[in-house]
């Protein structure tokens, strides 16, 4: 009895392709978030741009050091972030309140989940290419290129929607994101 579908044309193949089209944007967008959360220049920008030393009463060098420590915390196994800094009067004080420290723990947990999603999406993309294109040869390199272009268009659409949201109403979007996630 002949197969119900020719190779590479059945519902499982279609599902695998759709998952690829979704996994690639997820891998790309979450990679950007991962890079941003590990970029000292992004943290340092806010210290300089918003005159954080004057607002916090903590010297700039201490805040820049705190930025590096925060990045380290987001990537290590500590469950609680505790950082003492020297304030403008020379006193050693905690930089974050207990509520802020609890929020940082929530952010770290969310980042860990996001990193796992990114790693899973990237693993799926690689398995799809190796399994479907290289090993089974169910689609050609040209068809893979079309799938990547479609997935890239989806990525650009999502990034564009995020950019428009940020430009039109960043504060309300940021508040809504925090309400949804925390």
pLDDT 10s digits, 102-153:
999 999 999 999 999 999 999 999 999 999 988 888 888 999 999 999 999 9
pLDDT of residue 8: 58
The domains of the chain are located at 11-181
Tokens 């030393």, residue located:
53
Q: Quick one: which of 111, 96, 133 has its CA closest to 8?
A: 133
Contact criterion met (CB below 8 Å) for 111 and 36: no
Report helix, strand or coil for 10.
coil
CA atoms in the 13 A half-sphere facing the CB of 46: 10
In whole angstroms, give the CA distance from residue 76 to residue 98. 20
pLDDT of residue 136: 83
Tokens 């996994």, residue located:
23
pLDDT tens per residue across span 63-76: 999 999 999 999 99
The answer on pLDDT for 4 being more than 80 is no
């Amino acid at each position: 009895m002949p197969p119900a579908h020719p190779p590479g044309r059945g519902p499982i193949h279609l599902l695998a392709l759709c998952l690829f089209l979704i996994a690639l944007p997820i891998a790309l967008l979450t990679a950007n978030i991962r890079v941003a959360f590990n970029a000292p220049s992004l943290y340092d920008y806010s210290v300089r741009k918003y005159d954080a030393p004057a607002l916090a009463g903590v010297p700039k060098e201490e805040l820049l050091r705190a930025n590096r420590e925060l990045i380290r915390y987001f990537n290590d196994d500590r469950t609680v972030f505790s950082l003492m800094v020297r304030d403008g009067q020379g006193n050693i004080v905690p930089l974050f309140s207990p509520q802020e420290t609890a929020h940082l723990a929530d952010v770290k947990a969310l980042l860990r989940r996001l990193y796992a999603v990114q790693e899973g999406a990237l693993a799926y993309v690689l398995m799809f290419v190796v399994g479907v294109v290289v090993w089974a040869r169910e689609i050609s390199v040209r068809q893979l290129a079309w799938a990547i272009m479609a997935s890239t268009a989806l990525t650009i659409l999502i990034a564009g929607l995020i950019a428009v949201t940020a430009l039109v109403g960043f504060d309300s979007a940021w508040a809504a994101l925090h309400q949804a996630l925390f």
